Amino acid sequence: MMTFEPIGRVKNELTEKRFIKNAENIVSEIIIEEDYLDGLYKIDEQKYIDILFGFHQSEGYKMITPVFNGETRGVFASRSPNRPNGIGVTTVRLLERKGNKLVVTGLDALSDSPVFDIKPSDFSFQRNINIRDDAMPSRPRINIEKHISCGESRALLNQAGELHGHFCPGLSMGVMATMHVMDLMRQTSDGMEDLLAFVETNNCFSDGVQYVSGCTFGNNALIFQDYGKNALSLVDRNGRGFRVRAKNDIRQVIDNYFPDFNPLFEKIVVERNHQDELKRKFGAVSRRASFGMLDIPFDEIFNIQEVTVEVPAYAPIEESVECAECREVFMKSRGIGRDGEFICQACRGIHHPFLDGYGIHCC
């Protein structure tokens, strides 16, 4: 029978069994036993190392087990700490060596976990460390799900910026609110209307919501309520979930943390002063404020409550018909039948509701 002798122990702030997020921000020390110190020679030349450790607080295991997002998987297709041999492996960033101590970040091991082996990480066989190519076709949001589960708000904000076009506190608030609720609900979105987002504004906040939640107009999982509030209700198909809204003093909170932001916002956005130098300065200040928002405690920015709301039925599949006048195909419900033919709303010259920066126009 094979046995393992620990070469060291983990020391960090994690003392209880729980789901670990923000592991990349947790600093751990790996304290190496005296007999193995020579094995650390030149380890400080490595940027990333792999840590093989034991789940010393785990009790038993199941071959089929739930994972963080509510899915059920085989234990070998999960990162559950409850495993047949109780062994974990994690790639961490090596910050420094202090004698018999290795200071690292990113280690999702509890304090006093036994360490069995250490070796340099090898990324040469991976085409892209961020993208799981084998999983992307069946789970296109897998990287987003990973960032949510690990609390990697900066990665999500960076990617939300690709959709939004710039970084600002409003975008950060949308990212933060959605991450928080999805973490509470342990539910992901596959774009099939089983997770629904009710947004109450059509500003920067809503783009953060759409990117992180995966609920969009295109997949019918985004419901717009034109209340003009920085608020989100994220619910399941039964209408149960959470509503998050920005606190009434949010502008003051932003001003306290980032005093340069609001004055420049007034000049650039409100007064439409688009001088190049002013825009450049505002862009830099807005980026700093946007990423800085992620460090503000959630409770300073938001109020949150459990809710049960009425949800719409699944979106219908509309029949398409050809307009007798413009000869363009449109949804049958968006026009009128006449003498066996159909006329679209545009050709009828009838006003129909539309959404722009001022909200929904109904007449």
Kindly give the residue spans of alpha helices, DSSP state H, lying in 132-168.
142-149, 153-164
Please state, in angstroms and as integers, the Cα–Cα distance from residue 131 to each residue in 39, 134, 137, 191, 230, following that order. 33, 9, 11, 20, 32
Selection from 179, 301, 305 nearest residue 243 by Cα: 305
CATH class of 8-120: mainly beta
CB 294 within 8 A of CB 168: no
pLDDT, residue 31, reads: 96
**What's the CATH architecture for 142-308?**
2-Layer Sandwich (3.30)
DSSP string, 177-196: HHHHHHHHHT----SSSSEE
Consecutive sets of 10 residues in the chain, 363 residues long: mean pLDDT of each?
Answer: 87 76 78 94 90 86 75 81 87 92 91 94 58 60 82 92 94 96 80 87 94 91 92 93 96 94 89 88 93 94 95 88 94 86 87 76 68
Residue 314: per-residue pLDDT: 87
| Parts of the chain belonging to CATH 3.30.1330.130 | 142-308
Distance (Å) of CA 350 to CA 278, 325, 342: 43, 14, 14
What is the pLDDT at residue 34? 94
pLDDT at 151: 83
- In the chain, CATH 2.40.30.70 sits at 8-120
